Chain A
């Protein structure tokens, strides 16, 4: 335990909603003796243990790896997706970043495409459907050539990696005034488009993924940059420029447009 360990007393104003069709309300819960060494989700565990002790319904929140990589956790703390620390998921946010006596407001990602399941848990499967629409390279197991057959310039491989680090948490959507998932979509388009093996399908990919993005009910991108500021993996807004470039190119040059695309052009 660090020598600087202290205990905090906090008030938590938390969005409670029993189900998608139920009405939600904020409830306030005081919590005492929260160690500054604990993570935010460990503080939530502590609250839930107390609620269970009082035979009350614990607060539902999504979480799993608790090391910032699975993308399962995420809610809004005082208006910021994943809380106040830059490039940090809520599971990696520690309580030493908060002041004793503070009141913290917790609410779920709010977006039409992310229906609330319960309390702070939302359904983000719309993001999976965007990937399904084209966020892959069509290669069957067994048909791959030797890994070193294609050389890729290191800067391209590094930039592809930076975009591939997206964890699909949805913070970009939650922080966007239009609830757009363009940072998520463009990160995948950029990741695959930078690789020679991904170039082949790039036009169809970008058209299909953008179409699916719109079908899911995500809003349009107005490039405010709120998503980049909230992204726990630091995905750059440049990804959206890449997507726009590839989209325009595809609209002008695509040899055969998928049927779902007729209204895009």
Chain B
């Protein structure tokens, strides 16, 4: 305390500024947290409380009706695929479960595919000399700036020509093709000393071994960032899903809930239950991996 008193007036002034800022940030943080709080509590409210004109901060009675509706209104097989002439379908489960399975499958597959292809391409772009490198890199940067929605119509026509329309792959493939991951991992790979790669080559390791044993372990934080980034993006890529997916078995969770609405009535309880179901898993994933994530995007960006 004695130290505090001895501060110069200006420093005391800046201390007051700091405290005011902290309070302000807490207030702002509250508005950032609010939507999530509202969705989760809302999913446990009765219809009357959801529609109430005075805000109901905490449900007076926690009901499961919305989740029950979500689980009972539609059903679908847990999985289904065709093997040669046979169609194999899983046990019938609430459609919401299938939608969740689809969403997880979609996000995980795009994440894995993106990480693999982007790590390889990033390595090549950073450490190899080849013809057309400059052109390819400028194309990648240009494509990153382009809004995805612009190419939706041609993409739709292409997917249907390839018989991929209304399959989960029609959503996964464009995400894997999106060059952000390559950009990120190229920046990362450039930070790895070239001597290390060359040393490995001199030791007689082939190209693939060099990549898997030396390069990949060193760009792991970048791959981690790329993974989480792709996962979140693909989970929330509402528009692409809306255009490409149609049948109950193929829908993702956010799309599926929309199909459960009536003509002129929006069932907000159902919507909130669905939104909670759609966002809680991804928030958990984010919280678990957030250290990786922050480290990854920072390193990638600063070098960029």
A, B bound: no
